[in-house]
């Protein structure tokens, strides 16, 4: 089920986020798991956050205005329509959405392109905390 997040979802969100960081060889771990949890609590308190809550796994999307700040799914939900369902939930009241993703995340870029986002800009990563090259992507309503 896709639903709005509440503060009790922070632990599951942090587990998904931390799990992705730990499983991604090119992603540096620059925050502790406790900091990931605090970050997820902050997202819930400062952003519009939607969760994919399934018996098979968990995922979440955080948006502020037209900017998607986070989209993470447990691996068990990958390629099963949950990411698209989260995007569809936040596209409803927007004419445009933007997001940043890492250039090394080829699967994320392919996913966003399949959902009609396009790369608007590429950077060397000096503007992000991880210092990894990233891509700015944009979606515009048809």
In the chain the domains, ranked by start, together with CATH numbers, are 2-140 (3.40.630.30)
The pLDDT assigned to 90 comes to: 96
Look over the chain and give the mean of its residue pLDDT values, rounded to a whole number: 97
Can you give 7-72 as a three-state secondary structure string? HHHHHHHHHHHHHHHHHCCCCCCCCCHHHHHHHHHHHHHHCEEEEEEECCEEEEEEEECCEEEEEE
Question: Tokens for 134?
Answer: 């990233």
Percent of the chain scoring above 70 in pLDDT? 100
pTM as predicted? 0.95
* pLDDT band for position 142 (cuts 50, 70, 90): confident
- The string of pLDDT tens digits covering residues 1-60 is 999 999 999 999 999 999 999 999 999 999 999 999 999 999 999 999 999 999 999 999
* Residue 81 CA from chain centroid, whole number: 15
Percent of the chain scoring above 90 in pLDDT? 99
């Amino acid at each position: 089920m896709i639903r709005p997040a509440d503060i009790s979802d922070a632990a599951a969100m942090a587990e998904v986020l931390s799990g992705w960081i730990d499983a991604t060889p090119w992603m540096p771990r620059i925050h502790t798991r406790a900091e990931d949890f605090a970050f997820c609590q902050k997202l819930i308190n400062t952003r519009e956050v939607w969760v994919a809550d399934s018996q098979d796994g968990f995922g979440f999307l955080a948006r502020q205005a037209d900017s998607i700040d986070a989209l993470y799914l447990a691996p068990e939900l990958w390629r099963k329509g949950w990411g698209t369902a989260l995007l569809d939930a936040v596209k409803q009241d927007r004419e445009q959405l933007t997001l940043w993703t890492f250039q090394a995340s080829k699967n994320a870029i392919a996913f966003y392109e399949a959902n009609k986002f396009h790369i608007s800009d590429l950077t060397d990563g000096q503007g992000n905390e991880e210092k990894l090259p990233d891509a700015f992507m944009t979606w515009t309503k048809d």
